[in-house]
Chains A and B, each alone.
Chain A
Amino acid sequence: MSRMYQKIFTFEGYEVEVASDGQEGLDKAKSGKPTLILLDIMMPKLNGIQVLEQLKADPNTKAIPIIMLTNLAGQQDAEAALAKGAVKYIIKSEYEPKQVADMVKEVLAGYTRNEVPQAASQQ
């Protein structure tokens, strides 16, 4: 599925780097210093929450905005990620790829925290 998101961001004009497990993601983030990171939670080697914690603990990467992009849909999971410094928590299955791209654009433009999106209907 990362191929699908890689495509949409490429179509929208971004340069995209992909990692297939948490450790690879952490390494690439540290060396590549991306503008924004989309982080899944259920991953091999290191899970998304662990990667989030390590990126926020490292002074070189802690300023990079991180958006959780996952199908894990518990209220507690979302709150935990936001409490650890994620800017947004997006439940993949609730949105079209284009909507995800739009949300990323908003974050890059404003770099603000938003409420956890539960479903397509949001205030």
Chain B
Amino acid sequence: MNAVSTSQSPTQAEIDAQNYIQKLKQEQARFMASINSLKQGFLILDIKNNILIKNDAIDKMLNLKDLEGNVLLKGDMEVIEEQVKESFSLLKLIDECLAKKDRIVAADIPLKQKHLSIHVSPIISPDETSPLGVVILIEDITEAKVLERSRDEFFSIASHELRTPLTAIRGNTSMILDYFADKLTDPQLSAMIQDIHAASVRLIGIVNDFLNMSRLEQRKMEFKKDVVDIIEIIQEVIKELTHIADEKKLYLRFIPPAVRLSVLVDKDRFKEVVINLVGNGIKFTDTGGITLTVAQADSKVKVLVSDTGLGIHLSNQPLLFHKFQQAGSSLFTRDSSKGTGLGLYISKLITEGMGGTIELVKSEEGKGTTFAISLPLVST
């Protein structure tokens, strides 16, 4: 009885092979699902620039409509190269990547109406000496670029537009007080015009704060760094603010270091930071005064600004260097006469932009507050 069975029972090797193939198919399904879920365009090429794998997004990104399938297709790179040749050469980027054996990034490539960011990475297997191919990731950054440019322009134009009428208010009120004092016979009239002038000066300050903050946040602020003597800077600040301290009958003291200490900073910007800290001290102190100390701590120069003022409640301390926060718990509980709440935030951006740190050292309600700026010491 020789029954010819059409299906023989599989051997162990065949069962293993089936299992293995099934696992591979599952892996491939997971892989393809992953890359098709990406919004970035994704390509894997072999060492001969043949496209092995591509995802759906790449067609949209490079305006390719006639590529089909994920199979090995010779000549597809030529199609892509043809599409983009007016702006860049993808093949050149690939060559660069393979030569360097490292990822290369073309951060901003304009292509027709879009802006693209292209990352090319080599596929390196630990067993092989040369790369197996490349992975290309293409991102459409058009919207981000448009937003960035319009934000830049907004702040630049807005601050200019706001400054123009503000200058007219400031200038005209100032001239009325200077040249028409004889016509302001009623002191109330004079006081009102002074108030208008003061308000316009404050508004201009606020507009400047917003513009500076925007520039600092986008790292567009240029720092003109020089080696400066820190004692000189502190003395200049004290000279400028003494009369304000005097008005409130507060002292303004300076305890200089034992030796001359130099730092590498943008002098005007650094002065702004010190003025902000001392100004805050004066603002929030009613009796006593402000003390500035400069000392060397290891390889750093530390500037301490201490006041005998109201102090900051423990619950408000974490918010100090954040935007628009005044040392009060609610955003509505604010004293507009004490500024917008941007001073410390801007000071932090400036200090860190110059390689230093700024922090609250200690504060006790009713006793006073101490802030510290720390900068790398420059040996001269």
Contact = CB atoms under 8 A, between A and B. Distances in A.
Query: Which of A73, A93, A97 counts the most chain B CB atoms within 10 A?
Result: A93
B271 A121 contact: yes
Contacts of A97: 171, 174-175
Interface string A92-122: 1110111000000000000000000011010
B335 interface: no
Interface string A68-100: 000111111000000000000000111011100
Interface in B139-188: 156, 159-160, 163-164, 166-168, 170-172, 174-175, 178-179
A115 to B, nearest CB: 10
A4 interface: yes
A4 to B, nearest CB: 5
B164 A123 contact: no
Contact of B171 (A4, A42, A121): A4
Contact of A1 (B156, B167, B174): B167
Query: Which of A7, A8, A75, A96 counts the most chain B CB atoms within 10 A?
Result: A96
Given A1-B164, A121-B271, A93 B170 contact: yes
Query: Which of B156, B163, B178, B207 counts the most chain A CB atoms within 10 A?
Result: B163
A31 B170 CA distance: 33
B163 A8 contact: no
Interface residues of A, number: 23
A93 B163 CA distance: 6
**Which DSSP category, helix, strand, loop or mixed, fits chain B's interface?**
helix
A104 to B, nearest CB: 14
Contacts of B208: 73, 93, 119
Given A94-B204, A97-B171, A71 B160 contact: yes
Contacts of B96: none
Contacts of B174: 96-98
Contact of A4 (B172, B240, B272): B172
Contacts, number: 61
B252 interface: no
A5 B204 CA distance: 18
A98 B267 CA distance: 27
A98 B178 contact: yes
Interface in A2-37: 4-5, 7-8, 11
B275 A121 contact: yes
Given A11-B179, A96-B171, A119-B268, A71 B275 contact: no
B222 interface: yes
Contacts of B178: 96, 98
Contacts of B207: 93
Nearest to A72: B160
A71 B163 CA distance: 7
A11 B172 CA distance: 13
Contacts of B224: 75
Nearest to B212: A73
A83 B267 CA distance: 22
Given A93-B166, A93-B167, A123 B172 contact: no
Contacts of A92: 163, 167, 171
B217 interface: no
A8 to B, nearest CB: 6
Given A4-B175, A93-B166, A42 B268 contact: no
Given A73-B159, A123-B236, A1 B168 contact: yes
A57 to B, nearest CB: 27
A93 B204 contact: yes
Given A7-B175, A8-B175, A121-B271, A96 B163 contact: no
B51 interface: no
Contacts of B272: 119
A89 B159 CA distance: 18
7 contacts: A1-B171, A42-B160, A71-B167, A73-B163, A93-B167, A98-B174, A121-B268
Given A1-B171, A119-B268, 9 more contacts: A1-B164, A72-B160, A73-B159, A92-B171, A93-B163, A93-B207, A93-B208, A121-B240, A121-B268
Counting from the closest, the 5 A-B pairs by CB-CB distance are: A71-B163, A96-B174, A93-B163, A93-B167, A97-B171
